[in-house]
Amino acid sequence: MTRILTLRSAALAVALGAALTVGGALVFEHGLGYVPCKLCLTERVPYYLAAPLALIAALLPPRPARFLLGLVALVLIYGAGLGVYHAGAEWGFWPGPNDCGGGSGAGPADVADFLKNLETVRPVDCTAAAWRFLGLSLAGWNALIAAALGLCAAAAACFAQPSRGPHQPGR
Protein backbone atom coordinates (compact mmCIF):
# COMPACT_ATOMS: atom_id res chain seq x y z
CA MET A 1 0.00 0.00 0.00
CA THR A 2 1.41 3.38 -0.97
CA ARG A 3 0.71 6.36 1.15
CA ILE A 4 0.12 9.67 -0.62
CA LEU A 5 1.93 12.63 0.87
CA THR A 6 -0.53 15.29 1.94
CA LEU A 7 0.02 19.02 1.85
CA ARG A 8 -0.38 19.25 5.61
CA SER A 9 2.16 16.54 6.42
CA ALA A 10 4.64 17.95 3.89
CA ALA A 11 4.28 21.45 5.33
CA LEU A 12 4.78 20.11 8.86
CA ALA A 13 7.83 18.10 7.77
CA VAL A 14 9.42 21.18 6.15
CA ALA A 15 8.66 23.30 9.23
CA LEU A 16 10.19 20.66 11.51
CA GLY A 17 13.26 20.31 9.28
CA ALA A 18 13.79 24.07 9.23
CA ALA A 19 13.35 24.34 13.00
CA LEU A 20 15.75 21.46 13.68
CA THR A 21 18.36 22.89 11.33
CA VAL A 22 18.41 26.35 12.87
CA GLY A 23 18.18 24.72 16.30
CA GLY A 24 21.31 22.73 15.48
CA ALA A 25 23.09 25.93 14.48
CA LEU A 26 22.10 27.49 17.80
CA VAL A 27 23.44 24.45 19.67
CA PHE A 28 26.77 24.80 17.86
CA GLU A 29 26.84 28.48 18.82
CA HIS A 30 25.56 28.53 22.39
CA GLY A 31 26.20 24.96 23.49
CA LEU A 32 29.52 24.18 21.81
CA GLY A 33 30.98 27.69 21.67
CA TYR A 34 31.34 28.12 17.90
CA VAL A 35 31.11 31.83 17.08
CA PRO A 36 29.20 32.36 13.83
CA CYS A 37 30.50 34.62 11.11
CA LYS A 38 28.39 37.13 9.21
CA LEU A 39 27.48 34.59 6.51
CA CYS A 40 26.56 31.97 9.12
CA LEU A 41 24.07 34.39 10.64
CA THR A 42 22.71 35.35 7.22
CA GLU A 43 22.22 31.68 6.33
CA ARG A 44 19.84 31.27 9.27
CA VAL A 45 17.36 33.87 8.00
CA PRO A 46 15.70 31.58 5.43
CA TYR A 47 15.01 29.05 8.18
CA TYR A 48 13.55 31.75 10.42
CA LEU A 49 11.15 32.55 7.57
CA ALA A 50 10.49 29.01 6.34
CA ALA A 51 9.53 27.39 9.64
CA PRO A 52 6.59 29.67 10.53
CA LEU A 53 5.45 29.99 6.90
CA ALA A 54 5.36 26.21 6.53
CA LEU A 55 3.41 25.93 9.79
CA ILE A 56 0.90 28.45 8.50
CA ALA A 57 0.67 26.50 5.22
CA ALA A 58 -0.27 23.39 7.21
CA LEU A 59 -3.35 25.22 8.50
CA LEU A 60 -4.55 26.68 5.20
CA PRO A 61 -6.83 25.29 2.49
CA PRO A 62 -5.05 23.64 -0.48
CA ARG A 63 -4.71 26.59 -2.87
CA PRO A 64 -3.14 29.09 -0.42
CA ALA A 65 -1.13 26.26 1.18
CA ARG A 66 0.40 25.41 -2.21
CA PHE A 67 1.24 29.07 -2.80
CA LEU A 68 2.83 29.41 0.62
CA LEU A 69 4.82 26.18 0.22
CA GLY A 70 6.03 27.48 -3.14
CA LEU A 71 7.21 30.63 -1.39
CA VAL A 72 8.90 28.51 1.30
CA ALA A 73 10.64 26.54 -1.47
CA LEU A 74 12.02 29.75 -3.00
CA VAL A 75 13.23 30.99 0.39
CA LEU A 76 15.00 27.71 1.12
CA ILE A 77 16.56 27.46 -2.34
CA TYR A 78 17.89 30.98 -1.78
CA GLY A 79 19.26 29.71 1.54
CA ALA A 80 20.93 26.83 -0.28
CA GLY A 81 22.55 29.38 -2.59
CA LEU A 82 23.90 31.24 0.43
CA GLY A 83 25.33 27.98 1.75
CA VAL A 84 27.00 27.22 -1.60
CA TYR A 85 28.49 30.73 -1.68
CA HIS A 86 29.80 30.38 1.88
CA ALA A 87 31.20 26.87 1.33
CA GLY A 88 32.83 28.01 -1.92
CA ALA A 89 34.48 30.90 -0.09
CA GLU A 90 35.74 28.45 2.53
CA TRP A 91 37.25 26.23 -0.17
CA GLY A 92 38.81 29.26 -1.89
CA PHE A 93 36.73 28.96 -5.08
CA TRP A 94 35.86 32.67 -4.81
CA PRO A 95 36.44 35.46 -2.30
CA GLY A 96 34.18 35.87 0.70
CA PRO A 97 32.75 39.20 1.81
CA ASN A 98 35.24 41.88 2.80
CA ASP A 99 33.35 42.83 5.94
CA CYS A 100 32.99 39.37 7.48
CA GLY A 101 33.40 39.33 11.26
CA GLY A 102 31.93 37.74 14.36
CA GLY A 103 28.33 38.20 15.35
CA SER A 104 28.25 37.04 18.95
CA GLY A 105 28.89 38.63 22.30
CA ALA A 106 28.30 42.00 23.86
CA GLY A 107 30.46 45.00 23.12
CA PRO A 108 33.06 46.27 25.58
CA ALA A 109 31.90 48.51 28.40
CA ASP A 110 34.38 51.33 27.82
CA VAL A 111 37.23 52.44 25.54
CA ALA A 112 39.93 50.77 27.67
CA ASP A 113 38.12 47.42 27.43
CA PHE A 114 37.68 47.96 23.70
CA LEU A 115 41.40 48.55 23.19
CA LYS A 116 42.23 45.51 25.29
CA ASN A 117 39.80 43.40 23.22
CA LEU A 118 41.47 44.55 19.99
CA GLU A 119 44.68 42.91 21.17
CA THR A 120 43.14 39.52 21.88
CA VAL A 121 39.93 39.09 19.87
CA ARG A 122 40.05 38.10 16.21
CA PRO A 123 36.90 38.44 14.13
CA VAL A 124 35.51 35.22 12.71
CA ASP A 125 36.62 34.70 9.13
CA CYS A 126 33.92 33.63 6.66
CA THR A 127 36.53 31.87 4.54
CA ALA A 128 37.76 29.52 7.29
CA ALA A 129 35.59 26.52 8.17
CA ALA A 130 35.45 26.08 11.94
CA TRP A 131 34.22 22.48 11.73
CA ARG A 132 33.90 19.76 9.09
CA PHE A 133 32.08 16.44 9.01
CA LEU A 134 32.53 14.01 6.11
CA GLY A 135 34.49 16.72 4.33
CA LEU A 136 31.71 19.31 4.49
CA SER A 137 31.68 22.41 6.67
CA LEU A 138 28.58 23.68 8.40
CA ALA A 139 28.01 25.93 5.36
CA GLY A 140 28.19 22.91 3.07
CA TRP A 141 25.74 20.95 5.21
CA ASN A 142 23.48 23.99 5.28
CA ALA A 143 23.49 24.11 1.47
CA LEU A 144 22.47 20.44 1.26
CA ILE A 145 19.79 20.67 3.94
CA ALA A 146 18.28 23.88 2.60
CA ALA A 147 18.22 22.45 -0.93
CA ALA A 148 16.57 19.22 0.26
CA LEU A 149 13.95 21.09 2.30
CA GLY A 150 13.36 23.53 -0.57
CA LEU A 151 12.86 20.67 -3.04
CA CYS A 152 10.47 18.96 -0.61
CA ALA A 153 8.46 22.16 -0.27
CA ALA A 154 8.41 22.61 -4.06
CA ALA A 155 7.34 19.01 -4.64
CA ALA A 156 4.58 19.36 -2.06
CA ALA A 157 3.41 22.62 -3.60
CA CYS A 158 3.19 20.98 -7.01
CA PHE A 159 2.25 17.36 -6.36
CA ALA A 160 1.02 16.65 -2.81
CA GLN A 161 -2.59 15.70 -2.32
CA PRO A 162 -4.84 17.95 -0.25
CA SER A 163 -5.22 16.81 3.33
CA ARG A 164 -8.35 14.79 3.98
CA GLY A 165 -10.78 16.34 6.38
CA PRO A 166 -13.00 14.40 8.80
CA HIS A 167 -15.90 14.44 6.34
CA GLN A 168 -13.90 13.01 3.42
CA PRO A 169 -13.78 9.22 2.98
CA GLY A 170 -10.60 7.42 2.12
CA ARG A 171 -7.55 5.78 3.60
Domain range list for the chain? 7-159
Say whether pLDDT at 54 is over 60: yes
DSSP SS3 for 6: strand
Whole-number Å distance between alpha carbons of 83 and 33: 21
pLDDT in tens, 39-51: 888 999 999 999 9
Q: Find out whether 115 and 92 touch, Cβ atoms under 8 Å.
A: no
pLDDT in tens, 109-165: 677 776 666 565 555 666 666 766 687 788 888 999 999 999 999 998 888 777 655
Q: Find out whether 61 and 161 touch, Cβ atoms under 8 Å.
A: no
Name, in order, each residue with C-beta under 8 angstroms of 42's C-beta and a sequence gap of 6 or more. 82
Report which residue type is found at 54. Answer: A
- Give the single-character DSSP code of 38: H
Whole-model pTM above 0.85?
A: no
Q: How confident is the model at residue 3 (pLDDT cuts 50, 70, 90)?
A: very low
